[in-house]
Structure 1
Amino acid sequence: MVQGQLAKKILILSANPIGTDRLRLDQEVREIREALQKARNRDNFELLIETAVRTKDIQQIMLYNRPQIVHFSGHGAGNQGLIFEDIAGRAKPITTEALATLFGLCANYVECVVLNACYSVVQAKGIANHIGYVVAMRQEVGDEAAIEYSRGFYSAIASGEPYDMAHEYGRSAIQIEDLGEEMTPIIKKKIWINC
């Protein structure tokens, strides 16, 4: 890292509420951590992890951490939103509109959002109105494929690849493991309008 340059923050937000299918979120975090540790530019990144994230926590977490990359691991519910937890640990969605508004408020520091959740394209479209790069899953994604995508994506990021190329590395990681889901992750890019 160049002296005086701050490490890029990667914030992982995860939620697996009571009554939802169990996901291997700890395994995904471990793979991301190992991918970053093995990369040549590892000192350029700081990994921050927030688990069992409740809807009431998300604004404070974003304000406190001010991350450049936000990674959500959990359940998606298509048009209903992304599934976080309520105060009792039960499923509570945050709508696409609410997520887009939040990321609009964070657009001066967030560069990329990864929605590693089934059926999260709707949210990606809303968030991409404010954030440069947003990864989402176009349909249901298996645990193994979700984990492989994350490993490939963050290996590439920590090796100096840009977000769109890191996305291709994530898809390639799924393909290398012959999981048949390499077309599930997509990337949306913000359309920049000259003013």
Structure 2
Amino acid sequence: MKKTILILAANPENTSRLRLDREVREISDGLRRSRYRNRFQIEQQWAVQPRDIQRAMLELKPQIVHFCGHGEGESGLVFQDALGETKLVSSEALANLFRLFTDRVECVLLNACYAEAQADAIVQHINYVIGMKQAVRDDVAIAFAAGFYEGLGNGLSIKAAFEQGQQAIQRMLNPQGIDRKLISLNNLNHLPVVQLPDHLVPVLKRREGS
């Protein structure tokens, strides 16, 4: 049975432009190149309004939910209203939403600035949640997402795919600064740990008891 990755993208008119189309393309390309690409399917929702989130969750039944867009820290994630303007969704609202899908959703990736606050709230109900600790450059967010999903597509655990996403950031920033040795299929879940500057570190949260 295939796992569904639901991509929720929002970039309201009154926010800075992000290359969300490139991010989605890099995710798709990474999965397409991967060994177990047939285990996943991607569903995309663009210009997402808050009311669209639960509808998409009910209709598409994803195991992985990926948000790409802007974050405002404690104020919430940036979606948009019917006029294309900013509409914030709070950490509490997101946690209450994902509480309804505890038994179905395995991982949530919030590829947005200052999304650690939302990750802390959602992980009360979802086993794995990834957020960005601070502001994150567009190219860094794209590199991490591409590396993470390519890892999943090659059979890595969520934790190991997260580490591969970190490696992808490091390769982009400093191509000579990381061990480029090939990872054998027998060693997929034992990737070298990458140390990144604090302002670039995505954070992986795991639900207590999971």
User: Which bin holds the TM-score, normalised by the shorter protein?
Assistant: over 0.9
TM-score after normalising by structure 2: 0.87
RMSD between superposed Cα atoms in Å: 1.3
Q: Structure 2 residue aligned with 1:139, among 130, 134, 138?
A: 134
Taking the aligned partners of 1:54 and 1:140, their CA distance within structure 2 comes to: 23
Cα distance change, pair 181–143 in 1 and its aligned pair in 2 (3 A)? farther
Aligned to 2:13: 18
Aligned to 2:117: 122
Q: How does 1:1-195 map to 2 (within 5 A)?
A: 6-178=1-173, 183-192=200-209
Taking the aligned partners of 1:131 and 1:58, their CA distance within structure 2 comes to: 16
User: Does the CA-based 8 Å contact 1:104-1:130 persist in structure 2?
Assistant: yes
- Unaligned 5+ runs, structure 2: 175-195
Taking the aligned partners of 1:144 and 1:67, their CA distance within structure 2 comes to: 26
How far does the alpha carbon of each residue in 1:10-58 deviate from its partner, in whole angstroms, 9 at most, with x for none? 0100000011000000000000000010001000001111110001111
Taking the aligned partners of 2:85 and 2:134, their CA distance within structure 1 comes to: 23
Q: What is the percentage of aligned positions where both structures have the same residue?
A: 46
- Cα distance, 1:94 vs structure 2: 0.5
TM-score after normalising by structure 1: 0.94
- Unaligned 5+ runs, structure 1: 1-5
Taking the aligned partners of 2:203 and 2:26, their CA distance within structure 1 comes to: 20
User: Does the CA-based 8 Å contact 1:141-1:181 persist in structure 2?
Assistant: no
- Cα distance, 1:184 vs structure 2: 2.1
